[in-house]
Chains A and B, each alone.
Chain A
Amino acid sequence: MIQLTNLNKTFGDKIAVNNLNMTLEPGKVMGLIGQNGAGKTTTFRMILNFIAPTSGSITWNGHPITQNDKQKIGFLPEERGLYQKLTIEEQILYFAELHGMSRSNAKSALTDWLKRLDVVGKATDKVQSLSKGNAQKVQMIASLIFNPEFIILDEPFSGLDPVNTSVIMSEITRMRDQGAMIIFSSHDMNNVTKISDNLTMLKQGQVVLQGGVQEIREQFGRTKVYVEGPFSLNELAHLEGVLNVNVQGAGFNLTIADDKTGHAIFKYVTRNGYIPAFSQQPPTLDDIFRQEVAHNV
Chain B
Amino acid sequence: MSKQLIIVIKQTYRSHFKSRGYWLLVLSPLIISMVIGSVTYGISKMQGNTTPTIAIVGDPSVRTILKQQEKALDLHVSKITEAKEANQKLSNHDLDGVLLIQNNSSTLTTQPKSNTINKTALSAILGDLYRSQKASGYGLTAEQTQTLIKPYNLKTVVKQSANKSTDGDNSSMSNYGIAVAIGVITTMIVMWYASMIATEIANEKSSRIMETLLAATSSNIQYFGKIIGIFALTLTHIGLYVVVASITYFSFKTNAIVISLSKNFSGLTLSFSIYAVSFILIAVALYLVLTALIASLINDNSQVQQAVQPITFLAMVGYLFSFIMTSMPNNLAIKMLSYVPFISQSMMPVRLVTKVETWPSAIISLLISVFTLILLAWFGKRIYAKNVLSYSDDKILSQFVKNIKNKN
Contacts and interface: CB of A to CB of B under 8 A. Distances in A.
Determine if chain A interacts with chain B. Answer: yes
Interface of A: 45, 48, 50-51, 67, 70-71, 73, 75, 77, 79-86, 90, 94-95, 97-99, 139, 142-143, 152
B214 A50 contact: yes
B214 A95 contact: no
A248 B215 CA distance: 45
B208 A98 contact: no
A95 B216 contact: yes
A50 B389 contact: yes
Contacts of A97: 7
Given A70-B217, A98-B217, 10 more contacts: A48-B215, A51-B389, A67-B217, A70-B216, A75-B216, A77-B212, A77-B215, A79-B211, A81-B212, A82-B207
Contacts of A142: 212
Specify which of B209, B213, B216 lies most central, judged by the most chain A CB atoms within 10 Å of its CB: B216
Interface string B203-228: 11001111111111110000000000
B209 A98 contact: no
A73 B214 CA distance: 11
Contacts of B213: 95, 98
Contacts of B8: 98
A152 B19 CA distance: 33
B104 interface: no
Interface string B81-119: 000000000000000000000000000000000000000
Contacts of A99: 216
B147 to A, nearest CB: 77
B225 to A, nearest CB: 10
The 10 A-B residue pairs whose C-beta atoms are closest, nearest first, are A81-B208, A75-B215, A81-B209, A81-B207, A98-B216, A77-B211, A79-B208, A97-B7, A94-B11, A99-B216
Nearest to A152: B215
Contact of B212 (A67, A75, A90): A75
Contacts of B216: 70-71, 73, 75, 95, 98-99
A98 B212 CA distance: 10
Contacts of B269: none
Contacts of A85: 19
Nearest to B208: A81
B133 interface: no
A244 B181 CA distance: 86
A97 to B, nearest CB: 5
Contact of A50 (B7, B209, B211): B211
A50 B210 CA distance: 11
Interface string B380-398: 0000000001000000000
Interface in B1-43: 4, 7-8, 11, 15, 19
Contacts of B207: 81-84
A95 B15 CA distance: 14
Contacts of B214: 48, 50
B218 A86 contact: no
A67 B213 CA distance: 13
A67 B2 CA distance: 12
A86 B15 contact: yes
B11 to A, nearest CB: 5
A278 B350 CA distance: 94
A77 B7 contact: no
20 contacts: A48-B215, A51-B389, A67-B217, A67-B218, A70-B216, A75-B212, A77-B208, A77-B211, A79-B208, A81-B209, A82-B207, A82-B209, A84-B207, A95-B212, A95-B216, A98-B4, A98-B217, A99-B216, A139-B212, A142-B212
A196 to B, nearest CB: 22
Interface in B178-216: 203-204, 207-216
B212 to A, nearest CB: 6
Contacts of A83: 15, 203, 207, 209
Interface in B343-383: none
Contacts of B19: 85
Contacts of A80: 208
Given A86-B15, A94-B11, A97-B7, A70 B215 contact: yes
A102 to B, nearest CB: 11
Given A67-B218, A86-B15, A94 B209 contact: no
Nearest to B205: A81
A125 to B, nearest CB: 16
A83 B389 CA distance: 17
Contacts of B217: 67, 70, 98
Residue among A50, A75, A98, A143 with max Cβ neighbours from chain B (10 Å): A98
Candidate in B7, B11, B211 with the most chain A CB atoms within 10 angstroms = B211
A50 B387 CA distance: 11
Nearest to B11: A94
- Give the one of A51, A67, A79, A152 with max B CB within 10 A: A67
A90 B7 CA distance: 13
Contacts of B212: 75, 77, 81, 95, 139, 142-143
